[in-house]
C-alpha cells in the first residue's frame, strides 16, 4: 500500500493491523473529484470517446490487458471493484469477487467448479440452503455429493472418490459453531488434489483467515458482519487471481452481480469491522459464560468455552470466538418462546452480524416447515436458541437475559 508524505511523494508502508486494513486495504489513494470515499458509480453501461477508443479497448481485452476497464455493468463497476480490493486485502488474497448475495457466491463457485459426473463433499452442519442446493439442485445436473460430520477426518478421507473435485465446509458452523481444523483439511485436499472452499461468514477476516491455512477459496455473506448494519445484501469470494477470474466468467453468464450502491454500503460497513467484531467477541464470551453457569440453561455452544467440542481447534486457529451463542433453554417449545418474548434488547429475526442483537428459535424460524422428528434428526430441538450479539453494552445484555430467564418456572 502507498501512503502520501507531506511532500506529496509516495512511500511504501506495510499494513498489518486488521482495523487499518479494514479502512485502507486495497484502496486507491486518489479518488475522482478528490473524494476521500470511493464514489458510487451508478451506471449500467460505459461509453467510448470514439471508434479508435473502442478498438483499442477490444484489442487490449483480447490479449487480457484491458486494465480493469469494462464496457457493460455485468462485467464490473468501479465501486464494486473498490469493495473487492478491500476484502482481498483483509483476507490476504490475490483477488476477490463480489456477488448479489452470499448464496449467489456459493452457487457461482459450485457451478464454476463442478460438471456432470463430478462429486463433492460437504460437511453436515453447513448452511441449510447450501445443503439443499448441493443435495437437491445439483443432482439434476448429474453432480453427486456426500455429507460428512465436521471434524471426522476418517469419514472425510473415506468419502473421497476419484471424481471428487471439491470439499465445502463452514467454520464456525450454524447453529452449533463447530470449527473445522483447516490445516488438516488443507493437507488432505492438497494430497488428493481437491479444491477446498470455506464459508467463513461467522468468523469474519478479523477472527480467521482460511487462506492462511492453505484453503483455496473463502466465502462471506457480506450481508452479515462485513456490512454490519442489517441494511444490505451481498456476498464475496476471495482467493487466487486465477480462481477468481474463473468465477468472474461464471458471474458474467449467470448475472449475480452486486449493484454499486450495495457495494458502497458494504464498504462503509467494513471501515468499522474490526471495532465491531472485537465488541461482538467480548459480548459473545460474556454471554456464553453467563449462560453456561445459569440453572435454567441446559447447554451452551460457543467455541470460546472449554466445553465446546472444538475449543482446542478454535484456540489454535481463531483470534476471537465470534458474536453468536447457541444454547438450549431448560423448557419446552412454548417456554422457550416465552423466554424469547420476554427479552427487551434482541429483535426476533433471522440473520446475524449486525450492530443490533438478533435472536431466533430455529425450530420456529429456519426449520418451521419440518416436523419435530425431522428437526430432531438434524439436531434442531424445540428449546434451541441462537443469539447473534450486536455491539450493545455487555452488562445490559446480561441483565436482559437474567430478567427473561427469571420468568421461567
pLDDT digits (tens, 9 = 90+) for 263-306: 999 999 999 999 999 999 999 999 999 999 999 999 999 999 99
**Is 69 a domain residue?**
no
**Is 185 a domain residue?**
yes
What CATH number is associated with residue 337? 3.90.1150.10
**Is 67 a domain residue?**
no
**Is 56 a domain residue?**
no
Q: Are residues 265 and 285 in the same domain?
A: no
Measured distance CA(77)–CA(99) in Å, rounded:
12
- Boundary residue ending a domain (270, 301, 329): 270
What does the pLDDT average to over 124-136? 92
Q: Are residues 91 and 233 in the same domain?
A: yes
Q: Are residues 319 and 225 in the same domain?
A: no
- Boundary residue ending a domain (249, 270, 291): 270
pTM of the model: 0.92
Q: Are residues 353 and 239 in the same domain?
A: no
Q: Are residues 146 and 110 in the same domain?
A: yes
Work out how many domains the chain is built from and give that number: 2
**Is 55 a domain residue?**
no
Domain coverage including residue 324: 273-405
**Is 68 a domain residue?**
no
Mean of the per-residue pLDDT values of the chain: 93
Q: Are residues 108 and 250 in the same domain?
A: yes
Q: Are residues 294 and 319 in the same domain?
A: yes
**Is 327 a domain residue?**
yes
pLDDT digits (tens, 9 = 90+) for 325-348: 999 999 999 999 999 999 999 999
- Boundary residue ending a domain (252, 270, 288): 270
**Is 361 a domain residue?**
yes
pLDDT of residue 66: 56
pLDDT digits (tens, 9 = 90+) for 51-104: 999 999 998 877 655 567 899 999 999 999 999 999 999 999 999 999 999 999
Compute CA distances 15 → 12, 21, 31, 85, 205, whole Å: 9, 6, 20, 14, 15
- HSE on the CB side for 10, CA within 13 Å? 6
Contacts 24+ apart (CB under 8 A), 173-176: 173/123, 173/125, 173/126, 173/202, 174/125, 174/127, 174/202, 174/324, 174/386, 175/301, 175/324, 175/326, 175/362, 175/380, 175/384, 175/386, 176/125, 176/301, 176/326, 176/379
Q: Which residues are catalytic?
A: 74, 127, 199, 224
Q: How many Cβ atoms from other residues are within 10 Å of residue 302's Cβ?
A: 26
What does the pLDDT average to over 108-121? 97
Across the beta sheet with 95-99, the strand order is 95-99, 235-239, 217-221, 195-199, 164-170, 119-123, 144-148
What CATH number is associated with residue 242? 3.40.640.10
Q: Are residues 177 and 260 in the same domain?
A: yes
Q: Are residues 23 and 137 in the same domain?
A: yes
Q: Are residues 118 and 246 in the same domain?
A: yes
Q: Are residues 155 and 257 in the same domain?
A: yes
Q: Are residues 124 and 90 in the same domain?
A: yes
Amino acid at each position: 500500500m502507498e501512503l502520501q508524505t507531506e511532500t506529496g511523494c509516495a512511500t511504501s508502508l506495510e499494513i498489518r493491523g486488521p482495523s487499518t486494513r479494514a479502512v485502507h486495504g486495497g484502496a486507491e489513494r486518489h479518488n475522482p473529484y478528490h473524494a476521500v470515499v470511493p464514489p458510487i458509480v451508478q451506471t449500467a453501461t460505459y461509453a467510448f470517446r470514439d471508434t479508435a477508443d473502442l478498438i483499442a479497448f477490444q484489442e487490449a481485452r483480447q490479449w487480457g490487458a484491458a486494465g480493469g476497464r469494462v464496457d457493460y455493468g455485468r462485467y464490473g463497476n468501479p465501486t464494486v471493484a473498490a469493495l473487492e480490493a478491500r476484502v482481498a486485502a483483509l483476507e490476504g488474497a490475490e483477488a476477490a469477487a463480489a456477488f448479489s448475495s452470499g448464496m449467489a457466491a456459493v452457487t457461482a463457485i459450485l457451478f464454476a467448479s463442478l460438471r456432470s459426473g463430478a462429486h463433492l463433499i460437504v460437511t453436515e452442519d453447513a448452511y441449510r440452503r447450501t445443503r439443499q442446493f448441493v443435495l437437491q439442485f445439483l443432482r439434476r445436473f448429474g453432480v453427486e455429493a456426500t455429507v460428512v460430520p465436521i471434524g471426522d477426518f476418517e469419514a472425510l478421507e473415506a468419502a473421497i472418490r476419484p471424481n471428487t473435485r471439491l470439499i465445502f465446509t463452514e467454520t464456525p458452523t450454524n447453529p452449533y459453531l463447530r470449527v473445522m481444523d483447516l490445516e488438516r483439511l488443507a493437507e488432505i485436499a492438497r494430497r488428493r488434489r481437491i479444491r477446498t472452499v470455506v464459508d467463513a461468514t461467522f468468523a469474519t477476516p478479523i477472527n480467521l483467515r482460511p487462506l492462511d491455512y492453505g484453503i483455496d477459496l473463502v466465502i462471506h455473506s457480506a450481508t452479515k458482519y462485513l456490512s454490519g448494519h442489517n441494511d444490505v445484501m451481498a456476498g464475496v469470494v476471495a482467493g487466487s487471481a486465477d480462481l477468481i477470474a474463473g468465477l468472474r466468467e461464471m458471474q458474467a453468464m449467470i448475472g449475480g452481480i452486486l449493484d454499486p450502491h450495495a457495494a458502497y454500503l458494504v464498504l462503509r460497513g467494513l471501515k468499522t469491522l474490526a471495532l465491531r467484531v472485537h465488541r461482538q467477541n467480548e459480548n459473545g464470551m460474556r454471554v456464553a459464560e453467563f449462560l453456561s453457569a445459569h440453572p435454567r440453561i441446559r447447554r451452551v455452544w460457543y467455541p470460546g468455552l472449554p466445553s465446546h467440542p472444538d475449543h482446542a481447534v478454535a484456540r489454535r486457529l481463531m483470534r476471537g470466538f465470534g458474536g453468536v451463542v447457541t444454547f438450549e433453554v431448560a423448557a419446552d417449545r412454548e417456554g422457550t418462546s416465552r423466554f424469547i418474548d420476554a427479552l427487551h434488547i434482541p429483535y426476533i429475526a433471522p440473520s446475524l452480524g449486525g450492530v443490533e442483537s438478533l435472536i431466533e428459535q430455529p425450530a420456529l424460524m429456519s426449520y418451521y416447515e419440518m416436523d419435530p422428528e425431522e428437526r430432531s434428526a438434524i439436531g434442531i430441538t424445540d428449546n434451541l436458541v441462537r443469539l447473534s450479539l450486536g455491539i450493545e453494552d455487555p452488562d445490559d445484555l446480561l441483565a436482559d437475559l437474567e430478567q427473561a430467564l427469571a420468568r421461567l418456572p
